[in-house]
Amino acid sequence: MTDAPAPRDIDGNPVRAGLPMAMLAELTHRCPLACPYCSNPLELTRVQAELTAAEWADTFRQAAELGVLQVHLSGGEPASRRDLAEIARAARDAGLYVNLITSGIGLTEARLRELDGVVDHIQLSLQGIDAEMADWISGYGGSFARKMQVAEWIGAIGFPLTLNAVVHRQNLDRLPEMIALAERLGCRRIEVATVQFHGWADLNRRPLMPTMAQAAQAREVVNAARARLRGRMVIDYVPADHHAVYPKSCMGGWGSTGLNIAPDGTVLPCHAAQTIAGLHFDNIRERGLARIWHHGDAFNAFRGTAWLPEPCQSCDRREVDFGGCRCQAMAMAGDARATDPVCSRSPFNARLRAEAEADAASDDTALVYRRMPKEKRT
Ligand code: SF4
Ligand code: FES
């Protein structure tokens, strides 16, 4: 790596990378569900372009050498890959802590037993608290019943389980029941994440945008449940961005502790980074992971805080949230370098709040589903 020029951010300031701790491995974009807030990119990777199990195994070895401690096997739906167990085993053999993020659809008891002793932890998504809600939101009849069956097998085998509840205006009022379900299933953790309105979800802002009153109520429900469940179950809560005062520290800071690998091997600083025009993304098939992490243009572009614009540059939260989310700034302000528009100090914030309130007041319930084109592996 000595022949490479010193890494610089998008403004030419010198930057230095730390070590990544976590890697999201998007094994495929295929998915049987059709959620209206799907976070897959608008341009999907074709089956034929997906990394093979052997290529994933090599990537995991490189990740472990680079310092990555945990890998999240994700998608799409990772169970859509028939070689999921082989891939998971390769991650385990590389010495990584292996977390599987799944909708449960496509997992059988036999497939789960193959993952016993290989996968350390499972995160199961939850679209609703009953079949009527969950099947409507996921656009997949019978999904809730199958998911509950999978949860039962997970408990019987003994995997630690986190429930990932994605919340929005249509289901946020039923948050107490979601938390009760997580308790009944013996979960160690429930993650309550409000829909992020970029990518496909932006098409569903009117039916899904939570109201301000719902966001405030959710905070109270979470605080009360945290107090009641202390020592038994952890509740992670990601509130609605549009109703927050300050943005989240997305990815814990760009290029600081995490990286994503897309199904075709493109190495990304976050799952939505390809929405940012003008960045060049390397592929693991062409360059080593360490070199991409330390010297890749995309990883260095927004590293550190020297490139931050005002008002972030002189803000006391500069090292807390790093100006928020670059992809959100791109989607909402048309400029990835802008202060995240969900920040109350952003010049775009007033417009954003007005739009969010108008969306939340809509009585539109028609969902635009994300259906995957059917493909066959050749
Ligand atoms: Fe964060 Fe920038 Fe807002 Fe300050 S001005 S809170 S650094 S986004
Ligand atoms: Fe890309 Fe936040 S999703 S930086």
Q: Determine whether the shortest distance from the Cβ of 324 to ligand 1 is under 6 A.
A: yes
Tokens of 377: 């592996």
> How far is 332 from 199, CA to CA, in rounded Å?
11
Confirm or deny that 325 is annotated as ligand binding.
no
Q: Where are the domains of the chain?
A: 22-250, 251-343
- For residues 161 and 185, is the Cβ–Cβ distance under 8 A? yes
* pLDDT of res. 243: 81
Calculate mean pLDDT across residues 259-265.
Answer: 98
Residue 162's pLDDT band, with cuts at 50, 70 and 90, is very high
Calculate mean pLDDT across residues 125-144.
Answer: 96
* Identity of the residue numbered 105: I
In Å, how far are 5, 106, 248, 287 from 77, measured between CA atoms? 39, 8, 26, 27
Give 254 Cα–ligand 1 centroid separation in angstroms: 15
Residue whose C-alpha is closest to residue 88's, from 100, 80, 76, 77: 100
> How far is 171 from 193, CA to CA, in rounded Å?
12
* pLDDT of res. 188: 93
Confirm or deny that 38 is annotated as ligand binding.
yes
With 50 as the cut, is the pLDDT of residue 350 above it?
yes
With 90 as the cut, is the pLDDT of residue 208 above it?
yes
Which of 95-99, 162-166, 297-301, 330-334 is predicted least confidently?
Answer: 330-334
**372 three-class SS:** coil
* pLDDT of res. 244: 85
Residue 16's pLDDT band, with cuts at 50, 70 and 90, is very high
> How far is 377 from 56, CA to CA, in rounded Å?
18
> How far is 148 from 162, CA to CA, in rounded Å?
13
* pLDDT of res. 377: 47
- For the domain bounded by 22-250, which CATH number is listed? 3.20.20.70
> How far is 151 from 161, CA to CA, in rounded Å?
8
Locate the ligand 1 atom nearest the alpha carbon of residue 316 and give its number.
4
Residue 205's pLDDT band, with cuts at 50, 70 and 90, is very high
DSSP state of 375: -
Percent with pLDDT over 70 in the chain: 98
Contacts of 261 (CB under 8 A, 6+ apart): 23, 24, 25, 26, 51, 59, 267, 268, 284
In Å, how far are 238, 241, 254, 324 from 249, measured between CA atoms? 11, 11, 9, 5
* pLDDT of res. 309: 95
Calculate mean pLDDT across residues 247-252.
Answer: 93
Calculate mean pLDDT across residues 33-56.
Answer: 92
Residue 241's pLDDT band, with cuts at 50, 70 and 90, is confident
Calculate mean pLDDT across residues 47-64.
Answer: 97
Pocket test for ligand 2, best of 250, 260, 321 (most atoms within 8 A of CB): 250
> How far is 251 from 325, CA to CA, in rounded Å?
8
